[in-house]
A and B are shown apart, each in its own frame.
Chain A
Amino acid sequence: MSTLTHECVQAVSAEMRFGIMDLYAAYSAALDEGRYKDWADCFTTHAEYRLTTKENHDRGLPIAIIYCDGKGMIDDRAFTTTETTISQPRALRHIVSGISVRADGDGYRVGADFLILQTMLDRMTEVVMSGRYIDRVVVDGDRLLFESRVCVTDTLLYPTSVVAPV
């Protein structure tokens, strides 16, 4: 007998799943290629974006390493990343896997694991952080966008700096 519980859930179409996967791919590509404006355009007008640690998240501590409350702050984060931040040159690479999708009213609860690798001039490629995206994705006009993305990192001690959104 199967030990899996078969919940009665609202079915998510293959088309929608592929659409969400495309959003994830576009998001990672925008960050890895340093196109932060394109990153910001993955969010709705009233979106929330947070980067926090598992420790803060599990304990309900509200501080976030990056906290954006609305698209304006997300745009500002994109802008400051390239225009005001002084940092050592590096390449960042997002590895995202295990996307799970669940219908939730007019949107979708989506989750995925992420790993970010960093390559710098005089250092070997190293892991910056691992964690999980906890997202809500909605249809906005003819696009799928993040209404909420909370990046919860297993990593508690970040190597040097977090120079870009996650």
Chain B
Amino acid sequence: METEIKWATRAATTTGASDRAAAPDYVWPDGGCSRIPFWVYTDEAIYRREQERIFRGPNWAYVALECEIPNPGDFKRSFVGDLPIVVVRDTDGSVNAFSNSCAHRGVAFCQSEHGNTKSFTCPYHHWSYDLKGNVTGLPFRRGYKGKGGMPADFDLSQHRAQPLAVSVRNGAIFASFDSSVEPFEDYLGPRMLSYFDRVFDGRKLELLGYMRQRIDGNWKFMFENLKDPYHASLLHVFFVTFGLFRMDAESAIEMDETGRHGAMINRRGGKLDDVAAHEMRQTLRSDMQLKDTRVLDLIREYPGDVTAVMCTFWPNLIIQQQSNTLAMRHVVPRGPDSHDLHWTFFGYADDTPEMRAHRIRQANLMGPAGFVSVDDSEVMVMSQEGVTPYNDRAGVAEMAGRTVEDHDHTITEVAVRGLYQHYRKVMGL
């Protein structure tokens, strides 16, 4: 069934003047969070409002791992939303983050992907910065032979690269443009924090490397994908056939109180019953076998019998723990119809050589060429191809109901509804 979208010019009572200028009023279709109007994936004004309210808003965005910048002066480029920032380890060991945009004329002054430095200098007019993002000097400030120079009342201390609040927990670094953001632990809530701490348990991490891809689909498709276990037993032939993820396995979908964060918790499939096999008949290929099954090996390393937990932490992070492959998937929006996905693979510094080799081998499941994740990135492009020209329509997310609560199975779109319940509130839609 199609849902009619009402494009109404509503008297703007709840939104500020800047919002009105930035976006016309959109009316969410009837059906609440079980309906998703396609204009959330296509509209420029919606995209700009997302950058303003979500990525510049009071949220903790993932920006880096500590093991990427272990030593004082180590830095890396990163992003919050589509805003470029620099993340740097200060001389006292703390972590700073500031906008990669010169206080003078806006130049993205840090052009190295990573490195070690005592200071940053903008290449354009040589304004220099300390590791906190403060401007420490600029050439010809006093002019030359009495000519030129900054006005006498120019106050250097009033100029700096815009700082972000930073929170570090057990090796992962989060940042926020809005310093009013609640403490990181409260932001995640106790249950999501327990899933975070499950992987980030305080052990030192080892950086294993990077993969990056640009996916021509809206950034929310990536988030939804990891909140939608319904697709996993149908789209992913590899997962289902080799038993890594099956809808008949014992599993759960859990969220924080707001619905913005989620965790998809799975165990590997056991003996397959006839009903499940029938529903998955197009996906399940019982004739298939791998010649080298090491990629499927599971080395138990966390308490309990759960084999995969995929966390979606609002607004830009997916924590991947599938068997022994661990990665941060950092979502960087690139306009309404495209996003980049930055994968940072890691292990623990105390991994045995066998475990380290296994993680590297099992990474074949994931990334731009992953046995499983190729399917997702390809489908997101197909999604964008379908929603852009039909952006007067709305999608249906009614699997396992129309409301938002935790479920003890994966035949559900409940976490997608949770996401849009929160999204509507934040976006004023």
- Which chain A residues have a beta carbon within 8 Å of chain B's beta carbons? 51-53, 55-56, 59, 61-70, 72-73, 75-77, 79-80, 83-88, 122, 156-163
Contacts of A83 in B (CB 8 A): 237, 285, 288
Contacts of A79 in B (CB 8 A): 288, 290
Q: Could you tell me the distance between the alpha carbons of A162 and B368 in the complex, rounded to whole angstroms? A: 5
Contacts of B252 in A (CB 8 A): none
With CB as the reference atom, state the residue of chain B lying closest to A75. B291
- Whether B213 contacts A61 by the Cβ 8 Å rule is no
Task: For the complex formed, measure the closest distance between the CB of B280 and the CB atoms of chain A, giving whole angstroms.
Answer: 14
Contacts of B235 in A (CB 8 A): 86
Q: Tally of A-B residue pairs with Cβ under 8 A?
A: 124
Task: For the complex formed, measure the closest distance between the CB of A84 and the CB atoms of chain B, giving whole angstroms.
Answer: 4
Q: Could you tell me the distance between the alpha carbons of A68 and B235 in the complex, rounded to whole angstroms? A: 24
Instruction: Find A84's partner among B215, B371, B379 (CB 8 Å cutoff).
Output: B371
Contacts of B218 in A (CB 8 A): none
- Whether A61 contacts B212 by the Cβ 8 Å rule is no
Tell me the residues in window 346-402 of chain B with beta carbons closer than 8 Å to chain A beta carbons: 356, 360-361, 363-364, 367-369, 371, 374-375, 377-379, 381-382, 385
Task: For the complex formed, measure the closest distance between the CB of B327 and the CB atoms of chain A, giving whole angstroms.
Answer: 9
Q: Could you tell me the distance between the alpha carbons of A99 and B377 in the complex, rounded to whole angstroms? A: 33
Task: For the complex formed, measure the closest distance between the CB of A5 and the CB atoms of chain B, giving whole angstroms.
Answer: 32
Contacts of A59 in B (CB 8 A): 209
Name 19 extra pairs, CB < 8 A, besides A79-B288, A84-B241: A56-B209, A62-B208, A63-B345, A64-B360, A64-B363, A66-B369, A72-B290, A73-B364, A80-B238, A84-B371, A85-B375, A86-B236, A87-B375, A157-B340, A158-B368, A159-B216, A160-B381, A161-B368, A162-B368
Given A73-B292, A75-B291, A76-B291, A65 and B371 touching (CB < 8 A)? no
Task: For the complex formed, measure the closest distance between the CB of A37 and the CB atoms of chain B, giving whole angstroms.
Answer: 12
- Whether B374 contacts A86 by the Cβ 8 Å rule is yes
- Residues of B contacting A: mostly: mixed
Task: For the complex formed, measure the closest distance between the CB of A64 and the CB atoms of chain B, giving whole angstroms.
Answer: 7
Q: Could you tell me the distance between the alpha carbons of A63 and B207 in the complex, rounded to whole angstroms? A: 9
Give 9 nearest A-B pairs by CB, closest first. A63-B209, A72-B292, A61-B209, A162-B369, A72-B291, A84-B237, A86-B375, A84-B238, A56-B209
- Whether A122 contacts B385 by the Cβ 8 Å rule is yes
Q: Is the CB of B140 closer than 8 A to any CB of chain A?
A: no
Contacts of B377 in A (CB 8 A): 160-161
Q: Could you tell me the distance between the alpha carbons of A69 and B374 in the complex, rounded to whole angstroms? A: 21
Given A65-B367, A67-B364, A162-B374, A86 and B379 touching (CB < 8 A)? yes
With CB as the reference atom, state the residue of chain A lying closest to B343. A63
Given A56-B210, A158-B212, A161-B368, A86 and B237 touching (CB < 8 A)? yes
Contacts of B238 in A (CB 8 A): 80, 84-85
Q: Could you tell me the distance between the alpha carbons of A55 and B77 in the complex, rounded to whole angstroms? A: 14
Task: For the complex formed, measure the closest distance between the CB of A154 and the CB atoms of chain B, giving whole angstroms.
Answer: 13
Q: Is the CB of B113 closer than 8 A to any CB of chain A?
A: yes
- Whether A80 contacts B210 by the Cβ 8 Å rule is no
With CB as the reference atom, state the residue of chain B lying closest to A78. B291
Chain B interface residue count: which class? 35 or more
Q: Could you tell me the distance between the alpha carbons of A72 and B295 in the complex, rounded to whole angstroms? A: 11
Q: Could you tell me the distance between the alpha carbons of A1 and B270 in the complex, rounded to whole angstroms? A: 74
Q: Is the CB of B142 closer than 8 A to any CB of chain A?
A: no
Task: For the complex formed, measure the closest distance between the CB of A65 and the CB atoms of chain B, giving whole angstroms.
Answer: 5
With CB as the reference atom, state the residue of chain B lying closest to A120. B381
Q: Is the CB of B6 closer than 8 A to any CB of chain A?
A: no
Of A64, A156, A159, most buried by chain B (CB within 10 Å of CB) is A64
Given A73-B292, A87-B378, A157 and B363 touching (CB < 8 A)? no
Given A55-B113, A88-B378, A162-B369, A157 and B212 touching (CB < 8 A)? yes
Can you identify 5 A-B contacts, CB atoms within 8 angstroms? A59-B209, A61-B208, A64-B360, A85-B371, A86-B236
- Whether A158 contacts B237 by the Cβ 8 Å rule is no
Contacts of A61 in B (CB 8 A): 207-210
Task: For the complex formed, measure the closest distance between the CB of B221 and the CB atoms of chain A, giving whole angstroms.
Answer: 12
- Whether A156 contacts B345 by the Cβ 8 Å rule is no
Q: Could you tell me the distance between the alpha carbons of A160 and B238 in the complex, rounded to whole angstroms? A: 19
Q: Is the CB of B211 closer than 8 A to any CB of chain A?
A: yes
Of B238, B360, B369, most buried by chain A (CB within 10 Å of CB) is B369
Contacts of B125 in A (CB 8 A): none
- Whether B340 contacts A67 by the Cβ 8 Å rule is no
Q: Could you tell me the distance between the alpha carbons of A156 and B113 in the complex, rounded to whole angstroms? A: 11
Given A161-B378, A163-B374, A67 and B209 touching (CB < 8 A)? no
Contacts of A55 in B (CB 8 A): 113, 210
Contacts of A161 in B (CB 8 A): 213, 215, 368-369, 374, 377-378
Contacts of B371 in A (CB 8 A): 80, 84-85
With CB as the reference atom, state the residue of chain A lying closest to B382. A88
Of A75, A80, A83, A159, most buried by chain B (CB within 10 Å of CB) is A80
Of B360, B368, B377, most buried by chain A (CB within 10 Å of CB) is B368
Given A64-B360, A67-B364, A161-B374, A53 and B210 touching (CB < 8 A)? yes
- Whether A66 contacts B364 by the Cβ 8 Å rule is yes
